[in-house]
Amino acid sequence: MGLKAGIVGLPNVGKSTLFNAITNSNVEAANYPFATINPNVGTVIVPDERVDNLSKLFNPKKTIYTTFEFYDIAGLVKGASKGEGLGNQFLSHIRETDAIIEVVRCFENSEIIHVENTVDPVRDIEIINLELVMADLDTCANRLGKIENKARISKDKESMIEVNLLTKLKARLESGKSIRGLSFTEDESKILKNFNFLTAKPIIYVANVSDSDLMDIENCENYKKVREYAKQENAECIPVCCEIEAELSKYSKEEKEEFLKSLGASSSGLDKLVKSAYKLLNLSTFFTVGSDEVRARTFKKGMLAPDCAGIIHTDFKKGFIKAEVYTYNDIMQYKNEVALKEAGKLRIEGKDYVAQDGDIFFFRFNV
């Protein structure tokens, strides 16, 4: 599954620095607005100690983790929805993503220019979110203008549902609020997918704090403001020092662990961000294991066994017969598949089986 998260925010808030840390690449992180024009794309491994443990157990030729794509999208400014600062181009890049990571500047530094001249995280969030709202409002109004007459004249059921949905969305957007969080019927949800609304995308706020504030995060007022704002949206807020994370990304695994231990942390802010982005999209992991390969694979919660088989290859889904299934916890307890079978922990599941996070599958199929 190709999963994409777009990193957005005002210019000079730390987006490209965060991206560098995530991908350990060398994207320009210049101290001026619009240093990034085309979206840089980087792929990051989703941290999962289960993959490491399975690899130790099966000693395969290859170990493959599940991955996540992050897009570094250029800084938005006031008026982006009207084309200011190449805004339309940037907004189109956000449309291509599954989720939004909004980076908010929470650190003071007179040497780094702020496009609004002062550090005010809530104001910055509202600038970005209003531009996304205005872009969605334009999309909504344009479509309504095209379909209202057709719905009124034809009385077509689907057109009527669409008009009612867009009218509801338009009222919401005109109040300055995002579509995110509204509830929809099954028919409305199907129509909604056609529009790729920006404010319908799930969001995580990243509070980019200084290294000193990270060590004493509960006393960082700017972080607490972002956390409170996110809470009102039922969104997550993750404190990260992008500069530290960019430096950490250059270390070896052992050096990184040692550094985190000195900070009293068990995982980096970036690891938390990647895991949160994965969770945000309602994703889970199943595994395929053997002497050739141990591999983590991403699936949407609620998917059936044949759909998971199809993630490996479409033929697996078409010719699905059954799946041999056991859990990660069970194989870690019994250590090998023979002992697992003797303990009755290996199950045979059919087409109606709902996959669970941590399942280990062997699919049987015939095409």
**What is the reported pLDDT for 99?**
94
Q: pLDDT tens digits, the chain, 367 residues: what are they?
A: 667 899 998 888 998 899 888 877 544 444 444 444 455 788 888 889 999 999 999 999 999 998 888 888 866 666 655 654 444 556 777 888 999 999 999 999 988 888 888 999 999 999 999 989 998 999 999 999 888 888 888 878 888 999 999 999 999 999 999 999 899 999 999 999 999 899 999 999 999 999 999 989 999 999 999 999 999 999 999 999 999 999 898 888 889 889 888 877 788 998 899 889 988 999 999 999 999 999 999 999 999 999 999 999 999 999 999 999 999 999 999 999 999 999 999 999 999 999 999 999 999 999 8
Residue 199: what are its φ and ψ, rounded to 5°? -80, 5
Q: Starting from the edge strand earliest in sequence, which strands make up the sheet with 203-208, in order?
A: 40-45, 67-72, 4-8, 99-105, 203-208, 236-240
Find the DSSP H helices in the chain.
Answer: 15-23, 49-58, 87-95, 121-154, 157-174, 186-192, 211-215, 221-232, 242-248, 253-263, 269-280, 305-312, 314-318, 328-334, 337-342
> Furthest-apart CA pair in the chain: how many Å?
70
CA of residue 306 relative to chain centroid, distance = 25
Summarised one tens digit per residue, pLDDT across range 50-88 is 999 999 999 999 999 988 888 888 666 666 556 544 445
In the block, residue with structure tokens 């250590």: 335
Please list, residue by residue across 114-144, b when 16 or more beta carbons sit within 10 angstroms of its beta carbon and e when fewer do. Answer: bbeeebbbeebbebbbebbbbbbbebbeebb
Query: Which amino acid belongs to residue 36?
Result: T
* Angle, vertex CA 362, rays to CA 356 and CA 367, nearest 5: 115
Q: For all residues of the chain together, what is the average pLDDT? A: 88
- β-bridge mates for residue 105, sequence order: 208
310: left (phi over 0), alpha (psi -120 to 50) or beta: alpha
User: What is the CB neighbour count within 10 angstroms for residue 14?
Assistant: 28
Summarised one tens digit per residue, pLDDT across range 178-226 is 999 899 999 999 999 999 899 999 999 999 999 999 989 999 999 999 9
* Angle, vertex CA 92, rays to CA 87 and CA 96, nearest 5: 145
**What is the reported pLDDT for 55?**
96
